[in-house]
Structure 1
Amino acid sequence: MGKNKIARFAENKLLPNVIQPTREEALNNFELKGKWREKIFKNDHPIVLELGCGKGEYTVGMAKAFPDKNFIGVDIKGARFWFGAKDAINNNLGNVAFLRTQIELIDCFFAENEVDEIWITFPDPQIKYRRGKHRLTHPDFLNRYKNILKSSAIVHLKTDSEFLHGYTLGLLQGLGYEILTAHHDIYGAPEYEPDTLYLREIKTYYEELFSSKGKTITYIKFKLK
Protein backbone atom coordinates (compact mmCIF):
# COMPACT_ATOMS: atom_id res chain seq x y z
CA MET A 1 0.00 0.00 0.00
CA GLY A 2 1.33 3.43 -0.97
CA LYS A 3 2.26 6.05 1.60
CA ASN A 4 -0.51 8.38 0.41
CA LYS A 5 -3.15 5.72 0.98
CA ILE A 6 -1.82 4.96 4.44
CA ALA A 7 -1.90 8.67 5.29
CA ARG A 8 -5.48 9.03 4.03
CA PHE A 9 -6.66 6.00 6.01
CA ALA A 10 -5.04 7.48 9.11
CA GLU A 11 -6.61 10.91 8.57
CA ASN A 12 -10.04 9.38 7.93
CA LYS A 13 -10.02 8.17 11.53
CA LEU A 14 -9.81 11.81 12.64
CA LEU A 15 -12.30 13.38 10.24
CA PRO A 16 -15.64 14.17 11.92
CA ASN A 17 -17.63 13.48 8.75
CA VAL A 18 -16.26 9.95 8.21
CA ILE A 19 -17.91 6.91 9.83
CA GLN A 20 -16.01 3.61 9.63
CA PRO A 21 -17.83 0.87 11.56
CA THR A 22 -16.63 -2.70 11.78
CA ARG A 23 -18.66 -5.53 10.25
CA GLU A 24 -19.51 -6.67 13.77
CA GLU A 25 -20.87 -3.22 14.64
CA ALA A 26 -22.94 -3.25 11.45
CA LEU A 27 -24.53 -6.60 12.22
CA ASN A 28 -25.25 -5.85 15.87
CA ASN A 29 -27.72 -2.95 16.02
CA PHE A 30 -25.50 -0.20 14.62
CA GLU A 31 -25.65 2.84 16.91
CA LEU A 32 -26.57 5.38 14.22
CA LYS A 33 -29.32 3.29 12.65
CA GLY A 34 -32.44 5.45 12.72
CA LYS A 35 -30.48 8.33 14.30
CA TRP A 36 -28.46 9.89 11.48
CA ARG A 37 -30.42 13.14 11.52
CA GLU A 38 -30.25 13.43 15.28
CA LYS A 39 -26.63 12.45 15.92
CA ILE A 40 -24.75 13.38 12.74
CA PHE A 41 -26.61 16.18 10.97
CA LYS A 42 -28.49 17.76 13.90
CA ASN A 43 -31.51 18.53 11.70
CA ASP A 44 -34.60 16.87 10.23
CA HIS A 45 -33.71 17.33 6.55
CA PRO A 46 -34.06 14.54 3.95
CA ILE A 47 -31.27 11.97 3.74
CA VAL A 48 -29.76 11.17 0.33
CA LEU A 49 -27.30 8.31 -0.23
CA GLU A 50 -24.73 8.01 -3.00
CA LEU A 51 -23.80 4.34 -3.31
CA GLY A 52 -20.31 3.63 -4.61
CA CYS A 53 -19.37 7.28 -4.19
CA GLY A 54 -15.70 6.95 -5.22
CA LYS A 55 -13.93 10.24 -4.55
CA GLY A 56 -17.18 11.83 -3.39
CA GLU A 57 -17.48 14.50 -6.07
CA TYR A 58 -21.18 13.85 -6.60
CA THR A 59 -21.94 13.69 -2.88
CA VAL A 60 -20.19 17.01 -2.25
CA GLY A 61 -21.52 18.61 -5.44
CA MET A 62 -25.11 17.80 -4.51
CA ALA A 63 -24.56 18.98 -0.94
CA LYS A 64 -23.46 22.36 -2.28
CA ALA A 65 -26.44 22.52 -4.64
CA PHE A 66 -29.00 21.38 -2.06
CA PRO A 67 -28.10 22.72 1.41
CA ASP A 68 -31.54 21.68 2.70
CA LYS A 69 -30.69 17.98 2.27
CA ASN A 70 -28.23 15.68 4.03
CA PHE A 71 -25.89 13.62 1.85
CA ILE A 72 -24.04 10.43 2.73
CA GLY A 73 -21.47 8.93 0.37
CA VAL A 74 -21.08 5.18 0.78
CA ASP A 75 -18.04 3.23 -0.39
CA ILE A 76 -15.65 0.57 0.91
CA LYS A 77 -12.61 2.44 -0.43
CA GLY A 78 -11.85 5.02 2.22
CA ALA A 79 -8.69 6.29 0.53
CA ARG A 80 -10.88 7.45 -2.34
CA PHE A 81 -13.66 9.24 -0.48
CA TRP A 82 -11.02 10.96 1.67
CA PHE A 83 -10.95 13.57 -1.13
CA GLY A 84 -14.67 14.27 -0.75
CA ALA A 85 -14.53 14.28 3.03
CA LYS A 86 -11.71 16.83 3.02
CA ASP A 87 -13.47 18.96 0.39
CA ALA A 88 -16.64 19.01 2.51
CA ILE A 89 -14.73 20.09 5.59
CA ASN A 90 -12.75 22.74 3.70
CA ASN A 91 -16.06 24.17 2.41
CA ASN A 92 -17.77 23.99 5.82
CA LEU A 93 -20.46 21.63 4.53
CA GLY A 94 -22.28 20.29 7.56
CA ASN A 95 -24.71 18.32 5.40
CA VAL A 96 -22.13 15.77 4.19
CA ALA A 97 -20.93 12.50 5.70
CA PHE A 98 -19.15 9.42 4.37
CA LEU A 99 -19.78 5.83 5.42
CA ARG A 100 -17.11 3.21 4.78
CA THR A 101 -18.80 -0.14 4.26
CA GLN A 102 -19.79 -2.75 1.72
CA ILE A 103 -23.08 -1.83 0.06
CA GLU A 104 -24.34 -5.36 0.73
CA LEU A 105 -24.72 -4.22 4.34
CA ILE A 106 -26.55 -0.97 3.60
CA ASP A 107 -29.76 -1.94 5.41
CA CYS A 108 -27.74 -2.61 8.57
CA PHE A 109 -26.96 1.09 8.84
CA PHE A 110 -30.32 2.74 8.17
CA ALA A 111 -33.76 2.17 9.67
CA GLU A 112 -36.97 1.56 7.79
CA ASN A 113 -38.17 4.78 6.07
CA GLU A 114 -35.02 6.65 7.10
CA VAL A 115 -33.69 7.37 3.60
CA ASP A 116 -35.38 9.77 1.16
CA GLU A 117 -33.34 9.26 -2.00
CA ILE A 118 -30.58 7.08 -3.48
CA TRP A 119 -28.06 7.82 -6.22
CA ILE A 120 -26.08 5.05 -7.90
CA THR A 121 -23.35 6.71 -9.94
CA PHE A 122 -21.17 4.83 -12.42
CA PRO A 123 -21.05 1.46 -10.66
CA ASP A 124 -19.16 -1.51 -12.06
CA PRO A 125 -21.69 -3.03 -14.51
CA GLN A 126 -20.52 -6.56 -13.67
CA ILE A 127 -21.14 -7.71 -17.24
CA LYS A 128 -20.18 -11.36 -16.75
CA TYR A 129 -23.19 -13.55 -15.95
CA ARG A 130 -21.62 -15.07 -12.85
CA ARG A 131 -21.07 -11.56 -11.47
CA GLY A 132 -24.71 -10.55 -11.92
CA LYS A 133 -25.53 -10.69 -8.22
CA HIS A 134 -22.96 -7.94 -7.64
CA ARG A 135 -24.74 -5.40 -9.86
CA LEU A 136 -26.04 -2.59 -7.68
CA THR A 137 -29.43 -2.84 -9.39
CA HIS A 138 -29.73 -6.61 -8.93
CA PRO A 139 -33.03 -7.57 -7.22
CA ASP A 140 -31.18 -8.47 -4.01
CA PHE A 141 -29.81 -4.92 -3.79
CA LEU A 142 -33.16 -3.37 -4.73
CA ASN A 143 -34.77 -5.25 -1.83
CA ARG A 144 -32.13 -3.91 0.55
CA TYR A 145 -32.86 -0.38 -0.66
CA LYS A 146 -36.60 -0.93 -0.18
CA ASN A 147 -35.92 -1.80 3.46
CA ILE A 148 -34.59 1.69 4.20
CA LEU A 149 -36.41 3.95 1.70
CA LYS A 150 -39.53 5.99 2.31
CA SER A 151 -42.53 5.14 0.15
CA SER A 152 -42.09 8.34 -1.90
CA ALA A 153 -38.34 7.86 -2.35
CA ILE A 154 -36.59 8.20 -5.71
CA VAL A 155 -33.67 6.08 -6.92
CA HIS A 156 -31.32 7.37 -9.64
CA LEU A 157 -28.93 5.37 -11.81
CA LYS A 158 -26.34 7.27 -13.80
CA THR A 159 -23.98 5.14 -15.88
CA ASP A 160 -21.92 4.97 -19.04
CA SER A 161 -22.79 1.29 -19.42
CA GLU A 162 -25.49 0.66 -22.04
CA PHE A 163 -25.53 -2.91 -20.73
CA LEU A 164 -26.36 -1.87 -17.16
CA HIS A 165 -28.85 0.72 -18.38
CA GLY A 166 -30.70 -1.85 -20.47
CA TYR A 167 -30.47 -4.54 -17.80
CA THR A 168 -31.91 -2.21 -15.18
CA LEU A 169 -34.73 -0.97 -17.39
CA GLY A 170 -35.78 -4.50 -18.24
CA LEU A 171 -35.55 -5.60 -14.63
CA LEU A 172 -37.62 -2.68 -13.34
CA GLN A 173 -40.29 -3.26 -15.96
CA GLY A 174 -40.38 -6.98 -15.21
CA LEU A 175 -40.73 -6.38 -11.47
CA GLY A 176 -43.44 -3.77 -11.97
CA TYR A 177 -41.56 -0.82 -10.50
CA GLU A 178 -42.38 2.71 -11.62
CA ILE A 179 -39.89 4.22 -14.07
CA LEU A 180 -40.17 8.01 -13.92
CA THR A 181 -37.47 8.97 -16.42
CA ALA A 182 -35.11 7.08 -18.73
CA HIS A 183 -32.52 8.76 -20.98
CA HIS A 184 -30.06 6.95 -23.25
CA ASP A 185 -27.96 10.11 -23.61
CA ILE A 186 -28.35 12.84 -21.00
CA TYR A 187 -26.12 15.24 -22.92
CA GLY A 188 -27.84 14.61 -26.25
CA ALA A 189 -31.41 14.74 -24.94
CA PRO A 190 -33.02 18.15 -25.69
CA GLU A 191 -35.93 17.66 -23.28
CA TYR A 192 -35.20 18.03 -19.61
CA GLU A 193 -37.12 18.27 -16.40
CA PRO A 194 -36.22 21.50 -14.57
CA ASP A 195 -35.30 19.65 -11.37
CA THR A 196 -32.78 17.39 -13.10
CA LEU A 197 -30.69 19.97 -14.92
CA TYR A 198 -27.94 19.33 -12.35
CA LEU A 199 -27.51 15.89 -13.95
CA ARG A 200 -25.19 17.63 -16.39
CA GLU A 201 -23.72 20.16 -14.00
CA ILE A 202 -22.34 17.78 -11.35
CA LYS A 203 -19.88 15.19 -12.61
CA THR A 204 -17.91 12.41 -10.98
CA TYR A 205 -14.30 11.65 -11.84
CA TYR A 206 -15.45 8.67 -13.87
CA GLU A 207 -18.05 10.69 -15.74
CA GLU A 208 -15.41 13.18 -16.80
CA LEU A 209 -13.20 10.29 -17.88
CA PHE A 210 -15.90 8.46 -19.82
CA SER A 211 -17.26 11.62 -21.44
CA SER A 212 -13.79 12.61 -22.63
CA LYS A 213 -13.61 9.25 -24.42
CA GLY A 214 -16.91 9.91 -26.18
CA LYS A 215 -18.97 7.49 -24.12
CA THR A 216 -22.70 8.12 -23.82
CA ILE A 217 -23.99 8.82 -20.30
CA THR A 218 -27.36 7.28 -19.48
CA TYR A 219 -29.84 7.91 -16.67
CA ILE A 220 -32.83 6.23 -15.04
CA LYS A 221 -35.04 7.64 -12.27
CA PHE A 222 -37.41 5.17 -10.61
CA LYS A 223 -39.37 4.20 -7.51
CA LEU A 224 -39.32 0.93 -5.59
CA LYS A 225 -42.57 1.39 -3.65
Structure 2
Amino acid sequence: MGKNKMARFAENRTLSNVFQPTREEALADFHLKGKWREEFFKNDNPIVLELGCGKGEYSVGLGKAFPEKNFIGVDIKGARFWYGAKDALANNLSNVAFLRTQIELIDHFFATDEVDEIWITFPDPQIKYRRTKHRMTHPDFLERYKKILKKDGVMHLKTDSEFLHGYTLGLLQGLGHEIMFANHDIYGAPEFDPGTPLLREIKTYYEGLFEAKGKTITYIKFKIK
Protein backbone atom coordinates (compact mmCIF):
# COMPACT_ATOMS: atom_id res chain seq x y z
CA MET A 1 0.00 0.00 0.00
CA GLY A 2 1.37 3.42 -0.99
CA LYS A 3 2.32 5.99 1.61
CA ASN A 4 -0.38 8.38 0.37
CA LYS A 5 -3.09 5.76 0.87
CA MET A 6 -1.81 4.96 4.33
CA ALA A 7 -1.83 8.65 5.21
CA ARG A 8 -5.42 9.03 4.00
CA PHE A 9 -6.54 5.99 5.97
CA ALA A 10 -4.90 7.46 9.06
CA GLU A 11 -6.46 10.89 8.54
CA ASN A 12 -9.91 9.35 7.98
CA ARG A 13 -9.82 8.22 11.61
CA THR A 14 -9.63 11.86 12.68
CA LEU A 15 -12.40 13.23 10.42
CA SER A 16 -15.69 13.96 12.14
CA ASN A 17 -17.76 13.04 9.07
CA VAL A 18 -16.19 9.61 8.47
CA PHE A 19 -17.30 6.30 10.02
CA GLN A 20 -15.17 3.15 9.65
CA PRO A 21 -16.76 0.36 11.70
CA THR A 22 -15.39 -3.16 11.83
CA ARG A 23 -17.33 -6.03 10.28
CA GLU A 24 -18.13 -7.25 13.78
CA GLU A 25 -19.59 -3.84 14.68
CA ALA A 26 -21.69 -3.95 11.53
CA LEU A 27 -23.06 -7.42 12.16
CA ALA A 28 -23.98 -6.39 15.70
CA ASP A 29 -25.90 -3.50 14.11
CA PHE A 30 -24.13 -0.16 13.92
CA HIS A 31 -24.80 2.26 16.77
CA LEU A 32 -26.27 4.88 14.41
CA LYS A 33 -28.71 2.45 12.79
CA GLY A 34 -32.09 4.16 12.97
CA LYS A 35 -30.49 7.20 14.59
CA TRP A 36 -28.56 8.95 11.82
CA ARG A 37 -30.86 11.98 11.80
CA GLU A 38 -31.15 12.27 15.55
CA GLU A 39 -27.58 11.60 16.65
CA PHE A 40 -25.38 12.67 13.73
CA PHE A 41 -27.16 15.10 11.43
CA LYS A 42 -29.20 16.66 14.27
CA ASN A 43 -32.21 17.22 12.00
CA ASP A 44 -35.19 15.39 10.54
CA ASN A 45 -34.25 15.81 6.88
CA PRO A 46 -34.36 13.05 4.20
CA ILE A 47 -31.35 10.73 3.93
CA VAL A 48 -29.78 10.02 0.54
CA LEU A 49 -27.12 7.34 0.03
CA GLU A 50 -24.44 7.19 -2.65
CA LEU A 51 -23.36 3.55 -2.88
CA GLY A 52 -19.92 2.82 -4.28
CA CYS A 53 -19.27 6.53 -3.94
CA GLY A 54 -15.62 6.55 -5.04
CA LYS A 55 -14.31 10.04 -4.33
CA GLY A 56 -17.76 11.16 -3.24
CA GLU A 57 -18.48 13.70 -5.94
CA TYR A 58 -22.22 13.09 -5.90
CA SER A 59 -22.49 13.16 -2.12
CA VAL A 60 -20.63 16.45 -1.92
CA GLY A 61 -22.20 18.01 -5.03
CA LEU A 62 -25.72 17.18 -3.94
CA GLY A 63 -24.92 18.20 -0.39
CA LYS A 64 -23.95 21.66 -1.60
CA ALA A 65 -27.04 21.98 -3.77
CA PHE A 66 -29.57 20.59 -1.29
CA PRO A 67 -28.82 21.68 2.29
CA GLU A 68 -32.31 20.47 3.24
CA LYS A 69 -31.23 16.84 2.72
CA ASN A 70 -28.61 14.58 4.34
CA PHE A 71 -26.12 12.66 2.19
CA ILE A 72 -24.00 9.63 3.04
CA GLY A 73 -21.37 8.27 0.68
CA VAL A 74 -20.68 4.55 1.13
CA ASP A 75 -17.62 2.70 -0.14
CA ILE A 76 -15.12 0.12 1.07
CA LYS A 77 -12.20 2.16 -0.30
CA GLY A 78 -11.61 4.83 2.32
CA ALA A 79 -8.56 6.26 0.55
CA ARG A 80 -10.89 7.31 -2.27
CA PHE A 81 -13.69 8.95 -0.32
CA TRP A 82 -11.08 10.80 1.75
CA TYR A 83 -11.26 13.43 -1.01
CA GLY A 84 -15.00 13.88 -0.56
CA ALA A 85 -14.80 13.90 3.23
CA LYS A 86 -12.12 16.61 3.17
CA ASP A 87 -14.07 18.63 0.61
CA ALA A 88 -17.25 18.43 2.69
CA LEU A 89 -15.47 19.64 5.82
CA ALA A 90 -13.70 22.42 3.92
CA ASN A 91 -17.09 23.65 2.72
CA ASN A 92 -18.73 23.27 6.15
CA LEU A 93 -21.23 20.73 4.81
CA SER A 94 -22.73 19.36 7.99
CA ASN A 95 -25.21 17.38 5.86
CA VAL A 96 -22.56 15.10 4.28
CA ALA A 97 -20.96 12.01 5.81
CA PHE A 98 -19.04 8.95 4.64
CA LEU A 99 -19.28 5.32 5.70
CA ARG A 100 -16.61 2.74 4.96
CA THR A 101 -18.16 -0.68 4.55
CA GLN A 102 -19.09 -3.37 2.03
CA ILE A 103 -22.39 -2.69 0.28
CA GLU A 104 -23.70 -6.16 1.10
CA LEU A 105 -23.79 -5.06 4.77
CA ILE A 106 -25.81 -1.91 4.08
CA ASP A 107 -28.94 -3.10 5.89
CA HIS A 108 -26.91 -3.42 9.11
CA PHE A 109 -26.30 0.34 9.11
CA PHE A 110 -29.78 1.69 8.39
CA ALA A 111 -33.17 0.84 9.85
CA THR A 112 -36.41 0.09 8.02
CA ASP A 113 -37.67 3.20 6.16
CA GLU A 114 -34.65 5.26 7.26
CA VAL A 115 -33.42 6.04 3.74
CA ASP A 116 -35.31 8.20 1.22
CA GLU A 117 -33.17 7.84 -1.89
CA ILE A 118 -30.21 5.82 -3.21
CA TRP A 119 -27.67 6.63 -5.93
CA ILE A 120 -25.46 3.95 -7.48
CA THR A 121 -22.75 5.72 -9.46
CA PHE A 122 -20.50 3.86 -11.90
CA PRO A 123 -20.26 0.49 -10.14
CA ASP A 124 -18.17 -2.39 -11.43
CA PRO A 125 -20.55 -4.09 -13.92
CA GLN A 126 -19.26 -7.55 -12.94
CA ILE A 127 -19.74 -8.83 -16.50
CA LYS A 128 -18.55 -12.41 -15.96
CA TYR A 129 -21.40 -14.81 -15.21
CA ARG A 130 -19.78 -16.13 -12.06
CA ARG A 131 -19.79 -12.56 -10.72
CA THR A 132 -23.54 -12.07 -11.27
CA LYS A 133 -24.39 -11.94 -7.57
CA HIS A 134 -21.86 -9.14 -7.10
CA ARG A 135 -23.70 -6.76 -9.44
CA MET A 136 -25.10 -3.93 -7.36
CA THR A 137 -28.51 -4.26 -8.99
CA HIS A 138 -28.75 -8.03 -8.50
CA PRO A 139 -32.03 -9.09 -6.80
CA ASP A 140 -30.16 -9.86 -3.55
CA PHE A 141 -28.92 -6.27 -3.39
CA LEU A 142 -32.32 -4.89 -4.35
CA GLU A 143 -33.82 -6.75 -1.38
CA ARG A 144 -31.26 -5.17 0.92
CA TYR A 145 -32.09 -1.71 -0.43
CA LYS A 146 -35.81 -2.40 -0.06
CA LYS A 147 -35.30 -3.10 3.66
CA ILE A 148 -33.95 0.38 4.34
CA LEU A 149 -35.79 2.48 1.72
CA LYS A 150 -39.07 4.19 2.44
CA LYS A 151 -42.03 2.76 0.54
CA ASP A 152 -41.79 5.32 -2.28
CA GLY A 153 -38.01 5.66 -2.09
CA VAL A 154 -36.29 6.40 -5.39
CA MET A 155 -33.19 4.72 -6.79
CA HIS A 156 -30.77 5.96 -9.45
CA LEU A 157 -28.24 4.00 -11.51
CA LYS A 158 -25.73 6.01 -13.50
CA THR A 159 -23.19 3.93 -15.43
CA ASP A 160 -21.00 3.79 -18.52
CA SER A 161 -21.78 0.07 -18.90
CA GLU A 162 -24.38 -0.70 -21.56
CA PHE A 163 -24.25 -4.25 -20.24
CA LEU A 164 -25.24 -3.26 -16.68
CA HIS A 165 -27.81 -0.80 -18.01
CA GLY A 166 -29.49 -3.52 -20.10
CA TYR A 167 -29.19 -6.15 -17.38
CA THR A 168 -30.80 -3.83 -14.83
CA LEU A 169 -33.64 -2.77 -17.14
CA GLY A 170 -34.49 -6.38 -17.94
CA LEU A 171 -34.29 -7.35 -14.29
CA LEU A 172 -36.52 -4.49 -13.13
CA GLN A 173 -39.11 -5.28 -15.78
CA GLY A 174 -39.05 -8.99 -14.99
CA LEU A 175 -39.49 -8.41 -11.27
CA GLY A 176 -42.27 -5.87 -11.72
CA HIS A 177 -40.43 -2.88 -10.30
CA GLU A 178 -41.34 0.64 -11.45
CA ILE A 179 -39.02 2.16 -14.06
CA MET A 180 -39.57 5.90 -13.80
CA PHE A 181 -37.05 6.94 -16.45
CA ALA A 182 -34.32 5.31 -18.55
CA ASN A 183 -31.91 6.64 -21.15
CA HIS A 184 -28.91 4.93 -22.75
CA ASP A 185 -27.03 8.17 -23.57
CA ILE A 186 -27.88 11.10 -21.31
CA TYR A 187 -25.40 13.48 -22.95
CA GLY A 188 -26.40 12.49 -26.47
CA ALA A 189 -30.05 13.33 -25.84
CA PRO A 190 -30.15 17.00 -24.80
CA GLU A 191 -33.94 17.24 -24.89
CA PHE A 192 -35.14 15.16 -22.00
CA ASP A 193 -36.29 15.68 -18.43
CA PRO A 194 -35.79 12.75 -16.05
CA GLY A 195 -36.93 14.89 -13.13
CA THR A 196 -33.52 14.46 -11.53
CA PRO A 197 -31.71 17.73 -10.71
CA LEU A 198 -28.00 17.94 -11.52
CA LEU A 199 -27.95 14.56 -13.26
CA ARG A 200 -25.65 15.94 -15.95
CA GLU A 201 -24.10 18.77 -13.95
CA ILE A 202 -22.36 16.60 -11.34
CA LYS A 203 -19.73 14.29 -12.79
CA THR A 204 -17.63 11.76 -10.95
CA TYR A 205 -13.92 11.31 -11.54
CA TYR A 206 -14.59 8.05 -13.37
CA GLU A 207 -17.34 9.59 -15.45
CA GLY A 208 -14.82 12.08 -16.77
CA LEU A 209 -12.45 9.27 -17.69
CA PHE A 210 -15.20 7.32 -19.44
CA GLU A 211 -16.35 10.37 -21.41
CA ALA A 212 -12.79 11.04 -22.52
CA LYS A 213 -12.73 7.52 -23.96
CA GLY A 214 -15.93 8.21 -25.89
CA LYS A 215 -18.14 5.99 -23.74
CA THR A 216 -21.82 6.85 -23.43
CA ILE A 217 -23.31 7.44 -19.99
CA THR A 218 -26.57 5.70 -19.17
CA TYR A 219 -29.16 6.34 -16.47
CA ILE A 220 -32.11 4.56 -14.85
CA LYS A 221 -34.46 5.99 -12.23
CA PHE A 222 -36.67 3.42 -10.53
CA LYS A 223 -38.61 2.25 -7.47
CA ILE A 224 -38.43 -1.16 -5.84
CA LYS A 225 -41.87 -2.69 -5.36
TM-score surpassing 0.5? yes
Other structure's SS at 1:179 match: strand
Q: Which residue of 2 aligns with 1:88?
A: 88
Other structure's SS at 1:168 match: helix
The yes-or-no answer on 1:123 pairing with 2:141 is no
Q: Which residue of 1 aligns with 2:4?
A: 4
The answer as to whether partners of 2:181 and 2:194 remain within 8 angstroms in 1 is no
Q: Which residue of 1 aligns with 2:98?
A: 98
| One-letter identity of the residue aligned with 1:96 | V
User: Which ranges of structure 2 fall in alignment gaps of 5 or more residues?
Assistant: none
| One-letter identity of the residue aligned with 1:23 | R
1:112-191 matches, cutoff 5 A: 112-191=112-191
Q: Which residue of 2 aligns with 1:19?
A: 19
Q: Deviations over 1:94-144 (max 9, x none)?
A: 000000000000000000000000000000000000000000000000000
Identity %: 80
The answer as to whether partners of 2:32 and 2:109 remain within 8 angstroms in 1 is yes
Distance 2:45 2:94 in 1: 12
1:62-73 matches, cutoff 5 A: 62-73=62-73
| One-letter identity of the residue aligned with 2:35 | K
Q: Deviations over 1:29-77 (max 9, x none)?
A: 3210000001110000000000000011111011111111100000000
* TM-score after normalising by structure 2: 0.98
Cα RMSD after superposing both structures: 0.9
Q: Deviations over 1:143-187 (max 9, x none)?
A: 000000000100000000000000000000000000000001101
Other structure's SS at 1:181 match: strand
Distance 1:96 1:200 in 2: 20
Between 115-124 and 183-192, the greater mean CA deviation after superposition = 183-192
Distance 2:156 2:162 in 1: 15
Give the count of matched residue pairs.
Answer: 225
The yes-or-no answer on 1:37 pairing with 2:37 is yes
Distance 2:29 2:203 in 1: 35
* TM-score after normalising by structure 1: 0.98
